[in-house]
Structure 1
Amino acid sequence: MTDLPERLRARRSGSKVTEDAPRLDELRELVEAAGHVADHGALRPWRLIALRGEARHRLGVALAEARGDSKPSSKPLRAPLLIAIVVSPVASKKASAWEQEATASGVAHMLSLLLSDAGWGVMWRTGDAVRTEAVHRMHGLDVHEYLLGWLYVGGMPEHAERKKTKKPRIIDGESFLTVIDG
C-alpha cells in the first residue's frame, strides 16, 4: 500500500467513465469522511445532491434553458452519477461568506479525492450555467443557496487504470512555497 502523498500524486481527473457508480451506502460513507474538513464554527454550510438516471436528463434541459437552447445538453449524461456541490450559507458572526464557501469547496475536493482513492473516476465540472435560475430551480435550491458545480462520477475504464501507472506530473513545492522566518 502506498502512503497518502503518493496516492494524491497519482490522482487524475476521470473525464471518461463507465456506467458503474458507487452505491448509496458507499457514497454516504465517503460523504461522512469528506465532511471533516476545516469548518470555522462547525456550521456545515454545504450540502450535496446526487443526480442519477432521469435527473441527469432534467439537468440537461435546465442547462439548455439557461443557454437559450431548445435541445437539451448531453453533458450530464457523461457520467452515471453527478454530485451537485451546494453552498448553503449560515448566518454567522464567526465565519464570513467566503469561509463558508471555502468549506463547501473543501468538502467537494475531499470527496473527489476519496472517490478517486476508492477507484472511481471523478471530474469536477462547472460552467457558465452553474449559477443560472434554470439550474438553480432544477436542483430545488433555497434562495440563499448556490452551486459550485458537479462531481461527475463513474467507473474507471481499463485504459485509465493503465494511465494511472504512468509517472505523475511533478509539482515543484519550492516554486509554490514562500517561507517567512523571523
Structure 2
Amino acid sequence: MTAFEALLARRSYSSVGEDAPKRKELLRLVDAASTLADHKSLRPWRLIELRGADRDLIGIGLAKAEGKKGHDVEKYVRKAHRSPLVIAVVSAPRRGKLPEWEQEAVASGVAHNLSLLLDEAGWGVFWRTGSHTRSKAVAKAHGLADGEKLLGWLHVGSKPARRRAGRRKPIDAKKFLTRP
C-alpha cells in the first residue's frame, strides 16, 4: 500500500477491541513516527503509554477537572478504559529561539504520524482531546513537568470486525489550496 492509499483508507474508530500492539511493536512505530520535520531536531514531545490500571489516571484527572468526586469519578475512569492502550501526547517545548507553537506542531505531527502507522499496521485508533487537556488536575494526573502540555490521547485497540464502507466525503481541494 502506498502512502497515498494509506491516507485515503485511514479512518478513526470510535470503538476498538481489546487487543493492542505490544510494547516492542509500539516502540518501532514511535521510532518511525519521529522522522517528521523537526527544526533543530529538538524533539519537543513525549508520549505516555497507559495500559491496564494506568488508564485510571486519565479518568481521575478529568473528574477532578470537572469538580467530580466519589462515585461520579467511576464514569470518567470507564471512559478512559474504552481502549486497551491509551497514548497521551505531550508537547515538551525546549528553551531557545524556536517558538513554542512550532514545537507544539511537531508534537502534533508525531501523534498524527503514529496514528497513521498504527492504522496501517492494522490497529484501530481514535484521538481524543477536550477542554481539560490543559487543566492542572489532568496535567498532575499525567505527571507533566512545568511547561509541558497535554495535546490529547490516542486510543488504540483492535479494529472492529465490521467497518463502515466508503471513504469520507471528499473535499474540494481548490477551496483549501489557494494562491495569493
- Structure 1 residue 79 and structure 2 residue 78: aligned? no
Q: Corresponding residue for 1:42?
A: 41
- Structure 1 residue 109 and structure 2 residue 120: aligned? no
Deviation at 1:127, TM superposition (A): 1.1
Q: Corresponding residue for 1:99?
A: 102
Q: Corresponding residue for 1:178?
A: 178
Q: Corresponding residue for 2:128?
A: 125
Deviation at 1:134, TM superposition (A): 1.3
TM-score under structure 1 normalisation?
0.91
Contact 1:10 1:168 survives alignment (8 Å): no
Q: Corresponding residue for 1:29?
A: 28
CA distance in 2, matches of 1:145, 1:58: 17
Which range moved further: 100-109 or 2-11? 2-11
Q: Corresponding residue for 1:88?
A: 92
CA distance in 1, matches of 2:173, 2:153: 29
Deviation at 1:68, TM superposition (A): 0.6
TM-score under structure 2 normalisation?
0.92
Deviation at 1:47, TM superposition (A): 0.3
AA in 1 matched with 2:148: E
Gaps spanning 5+ residues in structure 2: where?
none
AA in 2 matched with 1:82: V
CA distance in 1, matches of 2:125, 2:22: 15
Deviation at 1:168, TM superposition (A): 4.3
AA in 2 matched with 1:108: A
User: What per-residue deviation string (whole Å, max 9, x for no partner) do you get for residues 116-168 of structure 1?
Assistant: 111111111011211111111111111111100000111001102xx2x5244
- Secondary structure at the residue paired with 1:38? coil
AA in 2 matched with 1:173: A
CA distance in 2, matches of 1:119, 1:51: 20
- Number of residue-to-residue matches in the alignment: 175
CA distance in 1, matches of 2:50, 2:13: 18
Gaps spanning 5+ residues in structure 1: where?
none
CA RMSD of aligned residues (A): 1.2
Identity of aligned residues (%): 52
CA distance in 2, matches of 1:171, 1:20: 33
CA distance in 2, matches of 1:5, 1:17: 24
CA distance in 1, matches of 2:31, 2:25: 10
